[in-house]
Amino acid sequence: MHELGVVFSIIKTVEQVAEENHVSNVPSVTLELGEVSTVVPDLLTDCWDWAVKRTQVMKEARLEIIRIPAITFCEDCRQEYPTVAHGKICPHCGSGKTYLLQGNEFTIKQITAE
């Protein structure tokens, strides 16, 4: 379970931003999480709930997750399709000349400060 390490990294980043901006309380953090990012949202939330209680600035911080769907583009037929449902092979033309457009994001989108 690498989610705990991911949470520690997020907390470290948020604490640095809070210190740089003289923020004493962070009530929420919003992440953009891609559908194929390898991070399991439920595990991430469980780790978050445990870890933030051990911080000064984020004791009560909520984690909000915005899911980004995985979309793949086919270079041959120039169509986009949902990655998880079809994988690397284009469902429109059968080509394997495809690449991921979105869906592997892991971004801190917003830090709410008081």
Spans of all domains in the chain: 3-69+103-112
Residues in the chain: 114
> Can you tell me which residue has the tokens 């997020």?
10
Query: Would you say the C-alpha torsion 49, 54, 55, 60 has a positive or negative sign?
Result: positive
**In contact, 106 and 31? CB cutoff 8 Å:** yes
pLDDT at residue 1 greater than cutoff 80: no
Tens digits of residue pLDDT in 66-100: 999 999 999 999 999 999 999 999 999 999 999 99
Is 105:35 a contact under the CB 8 Å cutoff? Answer: no
Global pTM value: 0.87
pLDDT at res. 9: 96
Candidate CATH numbers 3.30.2320.50, 3.40.1190.10, 3.90.1150.10, 3.90.1170.50; the one for domain 3-69+103-112? 3.30.2320.50
Sheet holding 80-82, edge to edge: 80-82, 71-74, 98-102
66-102 in b/e form (b: 16+ CB < 10 A) is: eebebbbbbeeeeeebebeeeeeebeeeeeeebeeeb
